[in-house]
């Protein structure tokens, strides 16, 4: 076996062992009760991101790609985080819920039925 193949086998074995350890760490972290939701989400996503980096860099051979590939990947990750954290801000805005906009809306004639029943 040539030295180049041995090097690749060693690299793939190390990545595999790292992925196993990180998977066990992911399961262990899932049993920890974090005081803030965002902290638990951040820890889980950090571990998953590192696992994704290992897979993309070694198995997909992206570590040897040009800089624009890295730029595209970084922008994808940034937009991913924006979309993942967007629902966390929904409870604090006043669009649709919590501003009283739906409290006085008629519900398609149900109010008429209740008023009619009260009259009898």
Task: Determine whether 33 is exposed, middle or buried from the number of CB atoms within 10 Å of its CB (0-12, 13-18, 19+).
Answer: exposed
The candidate with the shortest Cα–Cα distance to 17, out of 49, 46, 58, 60, is: 58
Q: Do residues 40 and 34 lie in contact, with contact meaning Cβ atoms separated by under 8 Å?
A: yes
Task: Determine whether 119 is exposed, middle or buried from the number of CB atoms within 10 Å of its CB (0-12, 13-18, 19+).
Answer: exposed
Q: Is residue 114 part of a domain?
A: no
Domain that holds residue 28: 3-87
Give me the percent of the chain exceeding a pLDDT of 70: 73
Q: Is residue 52 part of a domain?
A: yes
pLDDT at 114: 53
Q: Is residue 43 part of a domain?
A: yes
Question: Residues 67-84: pLDDT tens digits?
Answer: 787 788 889 989 998 988
Q: Is residue 25 part of a domain?
A: yes
Q: Considering its fold, how many domains does the chain have in total?
A: 1
How many other C-beta atoms lie within 10 A of the C-beta of residue 49? Answer: 13
Q: Is residue 11 part of a domain?
A: yes
Residue 113 — very low, low, confident or very high, per pLDDT cuts 50/70/90? low
Q: Is residue 33 part of a domain?
A: yes
């Amino acid at each position: 076996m040539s030295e180049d193949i041995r090097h690749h086998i060693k690299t793939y074995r190390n990545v595999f062992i790292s992925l196993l350890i990180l998977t066990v760490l992911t399961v262990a972290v899932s049993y920890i009760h974090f005081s803030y939701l965002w902290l638990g989400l951040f820890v889980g996503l950090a571990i998953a991101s590192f696992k994704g980096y290992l897979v993309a860099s070694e198995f997909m051979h992206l570590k040897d790609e040009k800089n624009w590939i890295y730029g595209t990947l970084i922008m994808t990750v940034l937009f991913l985080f924006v979309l993942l954290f967007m629902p966390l801000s929904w409870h604090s805005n006043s669009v649709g819920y919590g501003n009283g906009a739906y409290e006085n809306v008629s519900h398609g004639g149900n109010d008429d039925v209740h008023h009619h029943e009260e009259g009898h």
